[in-house]
């Protein structure tokens, strides 16, 4: 298949720095061996398409009992996500944990004795070292097919200052900037390997550099993955999900009242929509579940209200809503509070 041919063509390239074959008897080089080791643990994720999320991504099995680390997206927080292994087996993937600051998610499938990769620290990586990124860009691989591979080098190690969908990106921690073209739909969540096949990073989401407004190809380092899997808190914090609440008399108004039910954390269900309000005119209905604001995931009613409080009157905001089994986008013109 096309994926396998692409992978084979990419991994046979020798690195200028690590060009010696690992096993001269069969002619395979270190990059080819790294691909063979990592491909069985690289999975394809499919789910509902939400807003600008494409509805598919990559992930890495990090334990034999089916734990999968991937990038955080609205898709992985919903039911109906399927993990497809390279041998074609399909599993329902359930969300175990998310980390907003690192923009990572941990999923779980019910499987035993599965192939997996254990992340390691990326401290040994240096600028110009060869790296290999695996993933499923543009959903090229479907059923019993392996991921595609891209070979490149480490260009820079830095802390991220970037934007995603015209908003400041939440992850401000350390990143490995690479020259392999991984900023494509479906590639985020795949493993970044060094030339010896060690799992040194996770391919990150599609973002743009703050200074140049160009897409960045990067990976979250292995040490951040290790800390996330262990449940350790990040040393850096997530960016504020909204702009500061307006202090003028013209505060934002959507006309939406959220369901509370007396709980501290409750999903962002709409309880009431004021008649002739901006939300009413846009078609928002009671019992709608708001799952994202302008493509940014909303975890509960409090997160929605915080995001809504930072909106500017006169701008149009896109709400991603789950209505029954359907996921839709609704554009609401933010009004000023009466």
pLDDT digits (tens, 9 = 90+) for 261-288: 644 457 889 999 999 999 999 999 999 9
pLDDT of 66 above 90: yes
Structure tokens at 172: 């401000």
Mean pLDDT confidence for 154-170: 83
pLDDT tens digits, residue range 232-254? 888 765 544 444 444 445 689 99
Query: In whole angstroms, what is the distance from residue 62 CA to residue 222 CA?
Result: 12
- pLDDT for the residue numbered 6: 41
Query: In whole angstroms, what is the distance from residue 102 CA to residue 160 CA?
Result: 11
Query: In whole angstroms, what is the distance from residue 224 CA to residue 313 CA?
Result: 38
Give the Cβ contact number of residue 163 at 10 Å. Answer: 14
Q: What percent of the chain has pLDDT over 90?
A: 52
Q: How confident is the model at residue 20 (pLDDT cuts 50, 70, 90)?
A: very low
Structure tokens at 2: 């096309």
Please state which CATH number belongs to domain 2-230. 2.40.10.120
Mean pLDDT confidence for 24-38: 71
Q: Residue 9, SS3? A: helix
Domain ranges of the chain: 2-230, 252-336
Worst-scoring range by mean pLDDT, 30-39, 56-65, 321-330? 30-39
pLDDT of 165 above 70: no
Higher pLDDT, 260 or 303: 303
Fold that domain 252-336 belongs to in CATH: Pdz3 Domain (2.30.42)
Higher pLDDT, 74 or 270: 270
pLDDT of 149 above 60: yes
Mean pLDDT confidence for 191-207: 94
- pLDDT for the residue numbered 324: 87
Query: In whole angstroms, what is the distance from residue 57 CA to residue 46 CA?
Result: 7
pLDDT of 166 above 80: no
Of 62-76, 210-224, 236-250, 289-303, the range with the highest mean pLDDT is 62-76
Average pLDDT value over all residues in the chain: 83
Mean pLDDT confidence for 94-108: 94
pLDDT of 23 above 60: no
Q: How confident is the model at residue 46 (pLDDT cuts 50, 70, 90)?
A: very high
Query: In whole angstroms, what is the distance from residue 56 CA to residue 71 CA?
Result: 11
């Amino acid at each position: 298949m096309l994926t396998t041919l692409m992978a084979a063509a990419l991994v046979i390239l020798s690195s200028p720095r690590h060009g010696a074959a690992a096993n001269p008897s069969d002619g395979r080089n270190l990059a080819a061996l790294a691909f063979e080791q990592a491909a069985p643990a690289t999975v394809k994720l499919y789910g509902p398409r939400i807003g600008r999320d494409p509805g598919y991504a990559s992930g890495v099995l990090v334990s034999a009992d089916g734990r999968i680390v991937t990038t955080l997206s609205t898709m992985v927080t919903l039911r109906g996500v399927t993990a497809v292994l390279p041998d074609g087996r399909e599993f329902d993937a359930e969300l175990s944990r998310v980390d907003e600051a690192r923009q990572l998610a941990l999923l779980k499938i019910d499987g035993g004795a599965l192939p997996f990769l254990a992340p390691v620290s990326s401290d040994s990586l240096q600028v110009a070292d060869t790296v290999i990124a695996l993933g499923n860009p543009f959903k090229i691989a479907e059923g019993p097919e392996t991921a595609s591979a891209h070979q490149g080098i480490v260009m820079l190690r830095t802390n991220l200052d970037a934007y995603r969908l015209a908003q400041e990106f939440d992850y401000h921690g350390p990143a490995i900037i690479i020259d392999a073209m991984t900023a494509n739909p479906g590639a985020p969540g795949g493993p970044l390997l060094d030339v010896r096949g060690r799992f040194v990073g996770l391919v990150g989401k599609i973002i743009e550099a703050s200074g140049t407004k160009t897409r960045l190809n990067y990976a979250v380092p292995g040490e951040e993955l290790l800390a996330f899997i262990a449940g350790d808190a990040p040393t850096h914090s997530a960016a504020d999900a909204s702009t500061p609440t307006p202090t003028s008399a013209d505060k934002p108004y959507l006309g939406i009242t959220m369901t509370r039910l007396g709980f501290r954390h409750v999903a962002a269900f709409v309880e009431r929509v004021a008649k002739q309000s901006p939300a009413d005119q846009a078609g928002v209905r009671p019992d709608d579940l708001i799952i994202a604001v302008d493509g940014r995931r909303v975890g509960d009613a409090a997160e929605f209200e915080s995001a809504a409080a930072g909106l500017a009157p006169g701008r149009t905001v896109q709400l991603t809503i789950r209505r029954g089994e359907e996921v839709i986008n609704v554009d609401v013109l933010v009004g000023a509070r009466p």
